[in-house]
Amino acid sequence: MKLLVDSWGWLVLEDSRDPLHKTVSGIYAEAAATAGNVFSTNFILDETISLLFRRRPFREASRFTSGLLLSPYITIEQVTQARFRKAFDLRLRLRDKPDISFTDLTTMIVARELNVTDILTGDRHFRQVGLGFRILP
């Protein structure tokens, strides 16, 4: 299984007290069992790091973030200028869905380019766009 982890997924993985932590950890472990199957983006990590350092003690946030950035199991895709432009074009096409964040739009572009349909997220927007994404859990 190829898996793209959204900010929500990283936050649940970091917080062992979250009711979905065990379920999400199992999904992540299944994908990470095969090298090259777990993806995220620099935009997702920007969101994640900002939220972690706001919500969690510094030591916990820095430990988790360092581990994430150094992990050999995670490929961090860059939102390049070309991907940014494609996300903006998608933003214009989805005028009836103004609540979708631009980070989510960039994530959709990257996922489509990588042929990843499984998204570890609690965000319903991935289902609303009709691009064939499967929201996990």
The residue whose two tokens read 């349909």 is: 117
Q: What are phi and psi of 129, to 5 degrees?
A: -85, -10
Assign residue 91 the CATH number of its domain: 3.40.50.1010
Provide the number of structural domains found in the chain.
Answer: 1
Helix axes 7-14, 58-70, angle to 10 degrees: 120
Average pLDDT over residues 47-74: 97
Report the run of H or E that residue 102 belongs to, with start and end: helix 102-114
Q: Write down the pLDDT at residue 31.
A: 97
Q: Write down the pLDDT at residue 61.
A: 97
Average pLDDT over residues 51-64: 97
Residue 67 neighbours by CB under 8 Å, 6+ apart: none
- Residue 112, domain extent: 3-136
- pLDDT band of 63, cuts 50, 70, 90: very high
- 81-116 pLDDT, tens per residue? 999 999 999 999 999 999 999 999 999 999 999 999
- pLDDT band of 21, cuts 50, 70, 90: very high
Cα–Cα distance between 90 and 76 in angstroms, integer? 22
